[in-house]
Amino acid sequence: KQRAFSGVQPSGNPHLGNYIGAIRNWVEGQDQYENYFCVVDLHAITLPQDPATLASNTYTLAALYLAAGLDLNHSTIFIQSHVSAHSELTWLLNCITPVNWLEDMIQYKEKAVRQGENVNTGLLDYPVLMASDILLYQADKVPVGEDQKQHIELTRDIAARFNHYYGNGETILKQPEAIIRKEGARVMSLTDGTKKMSKSDPSDLSRINVLDPPEVIQNKIKRCKTDPIRGLEFDNPERPECNNLLTLYLLMSGKTKAEIAAECQDMGWGQFKPLLAEALVEGLGPIQQKYQEIMDDRAYLESVLREGRMKAEAIANQTLTQVKTALGYSLPL
Ligand code: AQP
């Protein structure tokens, strides 16, 4: 079987973008691959985090991976900071990665602007850590949202450069491919249909969190941005909010695009919003219930993560040894 790797940062409340753009696709494709799904807590500290909140968000996210339907027969779930090979490979790959490759990354530019003068080295280096995550598992596929496409391309470039410099004609690091689904690849903010839904948006009204209770979901949908036009339609670039909300309905209701286009073509927002809220509440309800069960059995969650760590370490350390040997770090102790 081919291998898949992916992760989400425990840097805030996991939201519909993380679920639809990433986690749900992992679940749907999981029996096709041998999967490694990681809570990428080392990535999270590229922006300031409160330690206690980081710890609790890490467990929440791991529990959510399980609650969303990841099956341990197909998928290994683990915490990035538990496997030290991620940090070690990052240093080794840093030394072959040109700084200007990192300075060109869109996400870096966006986040660096937001941080002003306090840009830390980790924010710039984020994509090398991400490349290390993926390359350690020799992953063939990386299921992600659209915003990560450039980072996967960079990962391929870093692998190719390492192989070229140190491979001696062999492929030491496999070049992965992104899997990006068309629908839901970029879930947009509820308060601005031209911005992606994001954990770091200061307004909680901009996103639906996977764990939001029904009344919060209903309230957020009631207050979300729309436009004054009657009759709802997909794919009109002049109506980004309309396209986003219809797409969310499409992704959470199980109906087809044609069905929804017909159902909503004469609707006003007052009629549509309760339908969308209901589809969201119904779609997220079973995950929330399962999440609660998992959180009530902390010992089980810890055992899943301990086992995940062991499995992940076995593969990661193999790759790390190959890389170190290629670099000349092979003298016996
Ligand atoms: N709005 C989105 N639409 C579709 N997919 C999304 N993803 C994130 N936002 C959307 C996908 O979720 C996975 C994990 O993302 P991440 O936690 O590594 O961080 P991110 O991409 O930076 O997402 P956030 O939640 O918006 O965090 P902040 O606010 O810190 O930037 C990835 O596969 C991503 O594509």
Say whether both 221 and 316 belong to one domain: no
Residue 24 lies in a domain: yes
Residue 45 lies in a domain: yes
Position 165 confidence tier, pLDDT thresholds 50, 70, 90: very high
- Residue 333, in any domain of the structure: no
- Check: CB of residue 279 under 8 Å from CB of residue 252: yes
Q: Residue 191: inside a domain, yes or no?
A: no
The 10s digit of each residue's pLDDT in 201-216 is 999 999 999 999 999 9
Digit-coded pLDDT (tens) for 304-319: 999 999 999 999 999 9
Is residue 117 pLDDT above 80, yes or no? no
Mean pLDDT in residue range 322-332: 89
pLDDT band at 112 (very low <50, low <70, confident <90, very high): confident
More confident of the two residues 184 and 299: 299
- For residue 195, is it within any domain? no
Strand partners, 206: none
For residue range 234-273, list pLDDT tens digits in order: 999 999 999 999 999 999 999 999 999 999 999 999 999 9
**Average pLDDT of every residue of the chain:** 95
CATH of the domain at 285: 1.10.240.10
Give DSSP secondary structure letters for 53-67.
HHHHHHHHHHHHHHH
- Proportion of the chain above pLDDT 90, given as a percent: 91
Same domain, 28 and 167: yes
Do residues 85 and 316 lie in contact, with contact meaning Cβ atoms separated by under 8 Å? yes
| Domain enclosing residue 308, as ranges | 3-180+298-327
Q: Is residue 217 part of a domain?
A: yes
Per-residue pLDDT band for 185 (boundaries 50, 70, 90) equals: confident
What average pLDDT does this structure show over 100-125? 90
Do 126 and 249 lie in a common domain? no
Q: Whose CA is nearest to atom 7 of ligand 1?
A: 18
Q: Are residues 76 and 173 in the same domain?
A: yes
List the beta bridge partners of residue 38: 7, 78
pLDDT band at 114 (very low <50, low <70, confident <90, very high): confident
Q: Are residues 164 and 40 in the same domain?
A: yes
* CA 329 to centroid of ligand 1, rounded, Å: 36
CB 155 near ligand 1, within 6 Å:
no
Q: Which residues are 36's β-sheet partners?
A: 5, 76
Q: Which atom of ligand 1 is nearest to the CA of 18?
A: 12
CATH code of the domain containing 10: 3.40.50.620
Report if residue 272 sits inside a domain: yes
- The finding on whether 9 has its CB within 6 A of some atom of ligand 1 is yes
Give this prediction's pTM.
0.94
* Residue 187 resides in a domain: no
- Residues 136 and 254 both lie in one domain: no
The answer to whether residues 252 and 166 belong to one domain is no
Residues 151 and 209 in one domain: no
Using 50, 70 and 90 to split pLDDT, how confident is the model at 333? Answer: low
Q: Whose CA is nearest to atom 34 of ligand 1?
A: 145
Return the pLDDT at 321: 96
Q: 6 to each of 47, 113, 137, 309, 314, how far by Cα in Å?
A: 20, 26, 10, 15, 17
Residues 165 and 235 grouped into a single domain: no
ipTM of predicted complex: 0.95
pLDDT-based confidence at 200, cuts 50/70/90? confident
**How does pLDDT run across 39-98, given as a tens digit for each residue?**
999 999 998 899 999 999 999 999 999 999 999 999 999 999 999 999 999 999 999 999
Same domain for 30 and 73, yes or no, is: yes
User: Which residues lie closer than 8 Å to 312 by C-beta, 6 or more apart?
Assistant: 36, 38, 76, 78, 82, 83, 137
CA atoms within 13 A on the CB side of 28: 12
**Cβ pair 39, 59 in contact under 8 A:** no
Number of domains comprising the chain: 2
253 lines ligand 1 (CB under 6 A): no
Are 21 and 62 in contact by the 8 Å Cβ rule? The answer is: no
Decide if 306 contacts 299 (C-beta within 8 A). no
Both 58 and 91 in one domain: the answer is yes
176 and 231 both lie in a single domain: no
- Annotated catalytic residue within 141, 199, 220, 273: 199
